[in-house]
Amino acid sequence: MQGKVAIVTGGGTGIGRATVLALVERGAHVQFSYSRSEREAAETATEARSVALRAGTGGSARAMRADVRNPRDVEALVQSAISDHGRLDLLVNNAAVSPAIANSELATLDDDELWDTVLSVNVRGAFRCARMAAPHLRATRGAIVNIGSIAGVNGEGSSLPYAVSKAALHGLTKALARALSPEVRVSCVAPGYVKTRWWDGREEAAARLRKRMLLDTPVTDHDVASLVCQLAQQPGLTGQVIVLDAGQVA
């Protein structure tokens, strides 16, 4: 990734943050977006500078507020990366919303605004970013890595709309892989339980998930970030959804 240019959406916290730091450590220049987590995004940018200095690889990171539901924001995000670095090699679609609503609460789930928000961010947002980035990624024969979820595999997640949105993102991965071939590779990482701030206050639910794992150690945000970096550099892989869950759904 030395000298490559990447965009990471939702890069201020969690998996997005770990991905920004992993890319910078490998020498990439990263433009990452945030929608609400301004303080966390600033902290991520500061840490990225420290990581770059320690690694000595010349990587860099810059935070930018952008809502993936807004086409103008997405266009500005992509154009900012091009203006700063003249190229784009990788798009990581990580931005997502994950409302916590029990799947049995169908009455609560029958809310147009809820569905519109989840699908607009988790699916249409990823498509918007891919559409805007595609011409630049074609030019560099780059890659897109989407961050899915095992919720899109087994239907069990924070809410029914979230699980549906991630299943749709997995489908979008395969469709984009065909649409953008042969120049752009498109893949997806589908993590299981990953300890992020979303789980704060949900320790009992997390413990139940961990009991299902075949491995002793849960997947971390750093593990997901490492796999994203590998997929970005894997020339023979496209159209695949890679489950990374310590054996949760084996």
Positions marked active-site: 162
∠ CA 77-63-137 to the nearest 5 degrees? 40
Nearest residue to 173 (alpha-carbon basis) of 159, 158, 187: 187
Burial string for 107-144 (b: 16+ CB within 10 Å, else e) reads eebeeeebeebbbbbbbbbbbbbbebbbebbeeeebbb
What does the block give as tokens for 203? 């320790």
Q: List, in sequence order, every residue forming a beta bridge with 34; answer none if it has no partner.
A: 65
What does the block give as tokens for 249? 């759904």
Cα distance between residue 155 and residue 159, in whole Å = 9
Burial string for 7-21 (b: 16+ CB within 10 Å, else e) reads bbbbbbbbbbbbbbb
Cα distance between residue 101 and residue 89, in whole Å = 37
